[in-house]
Chains A and B, each alone.
Chain A
């Protein structure tokens, strides 16, 4: 497993990194974050960039902070930090639940939220929570910073709004304080990419669901927001019957992939079952 030779730079600032990215001409340049997706791609020679620009030395891209009514996660924050951070636990429980299910401790200590989002593997576990929690993604480029809502960020298989000469710098989330959450991940072995998963977070009011957000992992080439299910869940009793009825259409209109773990029909069946379980668990009913 030896990658083709490449040059390596570790700039000290976002500006310097952007300069490197734009100065390429027709050389192929790749940004390196935790390397947990990029390195395998390089080693299997599925990509052979001339230059790798490592973001690890840039201060300010890591960490989780409050900014007014937002919780801001730096793009270079590792899955491990997300999975163990008290602010995330309090305000973004769904993101935390999902981060805990990513791979194994080694990978979680190196892989980053930004890397996972830009890599945009449809089976990646952090995409659906970011979509469901209405995050905004801050992208820096030669022309400055722009903010893209999650709904517009994921554009296709391994494709996002981040241009080749741009860097994702932070992810801004509205607070979901007090929301229950469940990331219902379906895998055959514990450490596996999602066959299908459902991200659900709910705000309860009495015994009923007041508000719900639901998004699906690996049910298409991008994560999918289940908006009509969310509407059906608003005001729904937190019972297996009521929730089951509300989520029954969760897979409608999806074109999930077919692979060794299942075809489209099977994945649709899973989505329905997992959505019911995720919502009930988020509502504190199991």
Chain B
């Protein structure tokens, strides 16, 4: 208790400061602790034997030589684990009729993708395990692999005979049925009858590999009373529940620890075969066991993302008002349903309508099995697919109507005075200002000058043509209101937990259930709590990632941490203050009603008499002099369940150069103005935007998981799977506009996926805009120079070759407005038969 002369000055606000991340000092000076750095006494090592075939029956496995090899403790096959391994979980049965095949961690009688585990070797050293894995002799009867997504949907060959079909589920959202809009088929017919335009396109979402930096790794210690599993995972809490359910282990006997995790991007949001195998090997042998995958294994076995065929039909009046939008998707699940894989594409149902006022809408999704690596969440999860589809269609519509594409968007988007706005897919957008973000982006970009340059290049027939790519996107973040998840048949809730422990010495421990894996939670949470409790940033420790330390949580994905987890932290802090208040009143001998809390102190209103949080924490600890009936603790916890999503948005503009002689596409300039609501740490937010942009641009320009006709992943190493580096990307001009979210007290919206979701269509729209006047109707992703060059070879330039830039003139589809185009499929055909003879030797 202190009585000071002057009133205490309020400490500087932490939220909003561009602090460098407190976790980085440790991480960049080599004091990181990843799962693979963990070494336990007596630890054994696993190596996997993987199927080289995409589809085959296992007719025999000879483990004799492997078992006899030096240092080998055990060799496990599917038959050995058949009774214990269960079936890997599918947590998102989007419709009750959804079909999910049994998914054993070690294949028992058939393999369904190249890379599937068929046996596991446990040995004293990783070397011995790898050597012995080479000695396991597996006999296969090869089956015809089903690889083409469209063909798989026809059930010509059924992959899982017991399911009777390759179609896992059919999910429909229809605005007429939901009462949120009109009947889309009727709207399209009416538009046609009224002389409007109907644009139909088939677009392809390429298949991506999350390519996180740290390969997946697990260490399982079964030697105590509890089974402890160290895992390179984004989801220790979810994993604990699902492993307990899958394996019949008592949840209370299972402790999951996610130590430092080197990136995930959704790729570590999984319940993995290798995870189950490590756990079962350890418990069977009673010894700690480690498994760390190689990069080559990671490429084939960790889940992939995206991979859709999108058949899109958009109708509009001649003056550009959208009248209907029909979305028909085929989504590739790969060989099995991953934990959320069955539901990820369904998130598009709420996002294809994006920022536009669309009177009639239908989303029709078919999820399909193929003999390829399973797919699941990858940065953006369902929303990049939708944003790509709708933003590409807006450009196509603009071309048909010969309208400036930004003006077409403006004509159809929700105006800022119209918020809150309930969209045709039934979500209520709380806030946004698309006009402001777009105006700022145009200015930063030099939009009009670039349009003029584009026109000059067209007129002079410059071998390098310029295009402008636009993406005015929104996304839904803050996954997720538990009720909505329930309505979508998702197996869990979307709340987040936090607790705050007030230590006797005045330090504060913040426990969060949203487990970071590179995002910077420790810094941002410290900033938030510093402001809430008035304690110094440095005195706050953020704890996470161990189910024993942070027992409750829903982990990190879907741009949810700050929006949901950050709010939970605030709620816990508020409870600490509420608990402290009677104690403060008691010690200050004042009425609680006369106290005010600011700057970490309770002050008796109108006086200089105050008591600080550290003093109260010590008083509670000592417990010598508490109000009657008060428990001696200020510690508090909170669980926050959002009532709705948050909706970041922004305008992204890309200047794309296409070298018509080589097909080379170059991103020359990129401007983005994002509205992510209030910003806790601008440095971290900008980092998230940069990383997100890199990944979204990479989908458009570089990355592609390509399988050959046998079902072997051809782009199975970084020689062929092209992940860009900083050297491949320009400086990004980023800026923000701010309309605070009304769904949480911080006013934040989420930023982790924004760049990825927004950038992909901006890039492709820009590349097409550069060459549309040459007769190119579509370009496949990724925009490989070869594919672009072929598109240019096949194109017939529009008559009047110097078509006006930005008006879409000359962009009329030579095949007529309604001819469906297999964009990527058509252009990229040759790729399927390409094989890299020298690839294996190259490094």
B719 located at the interface, meaning its Cβ lies under 8 Å from any Cβ of chain A in the complex = yes
CB-CB contacts below 8 Å: A135-184 with B: 157-158
Given known A186-B662, A259-B836, contact A40–B843 (CB-CB < 8 A): yes
Set A36, A44, A258, A266: member contacting B840, Cβ < 8 A = A44
A45 to B841, CA, bound (A): 10
Given known A123-B838, A266-B789, contact A260–B131 (CB-CB < 8 A): no
- Which of B126, B714, B830 is packed against the most chain A CB atoms within 10 Å? B830
B363 CB, nearest partner CB in chain A, Å:
33
Give chain B residues whose Cβ lies under 8 Å from the Cβ of A261: 784-786
Residue of B nearest to A119 (CB): B841
Main secondary structure of the interface of B (DSSP, over half): loop
The stretch from B77-85, B308-316, B723-731, B763-771 touching chain A is: B723-731
Residue of B nearest to A191 (CB): B725
Give chain B residues whose Cβ lies under 8 Å from the Cβ of A189: 702, 722-725, 727-728
Give chain B residues whose Cβ lies under 8 Å from the Cβ of A242: none
A46 pairs with B834, CB closer than 8 A: no
B290 located at the interface, meaning its Cβ lies under 8 Å from any Cβ of chain A in the complex = no
B253 located at the interface, meaning its Cβ lies under 8 Å from any Cβ of chain A in the complex = no
Give chain B residues whose Cβ lies under 8 Å from the Cβ of A12: none
B240 located at the interface, meaning its Cβ lies under 8 Å from any Cβ of chain A in the complex = no
B834 pairs with A190, CB closer than 8 A: no
Interface string of A189-214 (1 = CB under 8 A from B): 11111010000000000000000000
A97 located at the interface, meaning its Cβ lies under 8 Å from any Cβ of chain B in the complex = no
Given known A257-B838, A260-B836, A261-B786, contact A270–B662 (CB-CB < 8 A): yes
A259 pairs with B835, CB closer than 8 A: yes
A257 pairs with B727, CB closer than 8 A: no
Residue of B nearest to A121 (CB): B842
B290 CB, nearest partner CB in chain A, Å:
13
B160 located at the interface, meaning its Cβ lies under 8 Å from any Cβ of chain A in the complex = no
The stretch from A1-9, A15-23, A86-94 touching chain B is: A1-9
B728 pairs with A41, CB closer than 8 A: no
B456 CB, nearest partner CB in chain A, Å:
20
Given known A40-B843, A121-B838, A266-B790, contact A188–B134 (CB-CB < 8 A): no
B239 CB, nearest partner CB in chain A, Å:
26
Give chain B residues whose Cβ lies under 8 Å from the Cβ of A263: 786, 830, 834
A13 located at the interface, meaning its Cβ lies under 8 Å from any Cβ of chain B in the complex = no
A41 to B838, CA, bound (A): 12
B727 pairs with A158, CB closer than 8 A: no
Give chain B residues whose Cβ lies under 8 Å from the Cβ of A269: 661-662, 789
Residue of A nearest to B47 (CB): A2
Give chain A residues whose Cβ lies under 8 Å from the Cβ of B840: 44, 46
A61 CB, nearest partner CB in chain B, Å:
23
CB-CB contacts below 8 Å: A233-286 with B: 257-263, 266, 269-270, 273-274
A115 located at the interface, meaning its Cβ lies under 8 Å from any Cβ of chain B in the complex = no
CB-CB contacts below 8 Å: A43-57 with B: 44-46
B841 pairs with A2, CB closer than 8 A: no
A129 located at the interface, meaning its Cβ lies under 8 Å from any Cβ of chain B in the complex = no
Interface string of B265-304 (1 = CB under 8 A from A): 0000000000000000000000000000011100000000
A45 pairs with B296, CB closer than 8 A: no
Give chain B residues whose Cβ lies under 8 Å from the Cβ of A273: 661-662
Give chain B residues whose Cβ lies under 8 Å from the Cβ of A192: 719, 722
Give chain B residues whose Cβ lies under 8 Å from the Cβ of A260: 704, 706, 714-715, 720, 784, 831, 834, 836
A74 located at the interface, meaning its Cβ lies under 8 Å from any Cβ of chain B in the complex = no
Give chain A residues whose Cβ lies under 8 Å from the Cβ of B131: 4-5
B837 located at the interface, meaning its Cβ lies under 8 Å from any Cβ of chain A in the complex = yes
A258 pairs with B834, CB closer than 8 A: yes
Residue of A nearest to B720 (CB): A260
Residue of B nearest to A258 (CB): B834
B652 located at the interface, meaning its Cβ lies under 8 Å from any Cβ of chain A in the complex = no
B843 CB, nearest partner CB in chain A, Å:
3
A223 located at the interface, meaning its Cβ lies under 8 Å from any Cβ of chain B in the complex = no
A257 to B836, CA, bound (A): 8
Give chain B residues whose Cβ lies under 8 Å from the Cβ of A186: 662, 664, 785
B245 CB, nearest partner CB in chain A, Å:
34
CB-CB contacts below 8 Å: B716-743 with A: 719-720, 722-725, 727-728
B839 located at the interface, meaning its Cβ lies under 8 Å from any Cβ of chain A in the complex = yes
Given known A2-B126, A188-B702, A190-B725, contact A41–B841 (CB-CB < 8 A): yes
Q: Count of B residues near A, CB < 8 Å?
A: 42
A121 to B662, CA, bound (A): 23
B216 located at the interface, meaning its Cβ lies under 8 Å from any Cβ of chain A in the complex = no
B130 located at the interface, meaning its Cβ lies under 8 Å from any Cβ of chain A in the complex = yes
Residue of A nearest to B215 (CB): A1
Give chain A residues whose Cβ lies under 8 Å from the Cβ of B126: 2
B50 CB, nearest partner CB in chain A, Å:
13
A122 located at the interface, meaning its Cβ lies under 8 Å from any Cβ of chain B in the complex = yes
Give chain B residues whose Cβ lies under 8 Å from the Cβ of A36: 843
Given known A5-B127, A44-B296, A157-B838, contact A37–B786 (CB-CB < 8 A): no
A274 CB, nearest partner CB in chain B, Å:
8
A2 pairs with B842, CB closer than 8 A: no
Give chain B residues whose Cβ lies under 8 Å from the Cβ of A190: 725, 727-728
Give chain B residues whose Cβ lies under 8 Å from the Cβ of A259: 720, 834-839
Residue of A nearest to B843 (CB): A40
Interface string of B124-143 (1 = CB under 8 A from A): 00110011001000000000
A188 pairs with B127, CB closer than 8 A: no
Interface string of B745-758 (1 = CB under 8 A from A): 00000000000000
A35 CB, nearest partner CB in chain B, Å:
10
Give chain B residues whose Cβ lies under 8 Å from the Cβ of A5: 127, 131
Interface string of B681-714 (1 = CB under 8 A from A): 0000000000000000000001010100000001
Give chain A residues whose Cβ lies under 8 Å from the Cβ of B295: 1
Residue of B nearest to A192 (CB): B722
Interface string of A60-84 (1 = CB under 8 A from B): 0000000000000000000000000
Set B294, B664, B842: member contacting A123, Cβ < 8 A = B842
A46 to B717, CA, bound (A): 14
B719 CB, nearest partner CB in chain A, Å:
7
Given known A4-B131, A192-B722, contact A46–B841 (CB-CB < 8 A): yes
A2 to B131, CA, bound (A): 9
Give chain A residues whose Cβ lies under 8 Å from the Cβ of B702: 188-189
A48 to B790, CA, bound (A): 41
A257 pairs with B130, CB closer than 8 A: no
Residue of A nearest to B714 (CB): A260
B786 pairs with A262, CB closer than 8 A: yes
Residue of A nearest to B715 (CB): A260
B157 CB, nearest partner CB in chain A, Å:
26
A41 pairs with B835, CB closer than 8 A: no
A113 CB, nearest partner CB in chain B, Å:
17
B718 CB, nearest partner CB in chain A, Å:
9
A45 pairs with B134, CB closer than 8 A: yes
B727 pairs with A191, CB closer than 8 A: yes
A37 pairs with B127, CB closer than 8 A: no
B842 pairs with A257, CB closer than 8 A: no
A122 to B662, CA, bound (A): 21
B843 pairs with A37, CB closer than 8 A: yes
A192 to B720, CA, bound (A): 9
CB-CB contacts below 8 Å: B46-105 with A: none
Give chain B residues whose Cβ lies under 8 Å from the Cβ of A45: 134
Give chain A residues whose Cβ lies under 8 Å from the Cβ of B296: 1, 44
A262 to B786, CA, bound (A): 6
A261 to B790, CA, bound (A): 12
A278 to B148, CA, bound (A): 41
Instruction: Contacts A188-B785, A260-B784 known; list 8 others, CB within 8 Å.
Output: A1-B294, A4-B134, A41-B841, A122-B838, A123-B838, A260-B704, A263-B830, A269-B789
5 A-B interface contacts by CB (under 8 A): A1-B294, A1-B295, A259-B835, A259-B836, A260-B720
Residues of B within 8 A of A (CB): 126-127, 130-131, 134, 294-296, 661-664, 702, 704, 706, 714-715, 719-720, 722-725, 727-728, 784-786, 789-790, 830-831, 834-843
The 8 closest A-B pairs by CB, nearest first: A40-B843, A259-B836, A190-B727, A262-B786, A2-B130, A273-B661, A1-B294, A189-B728
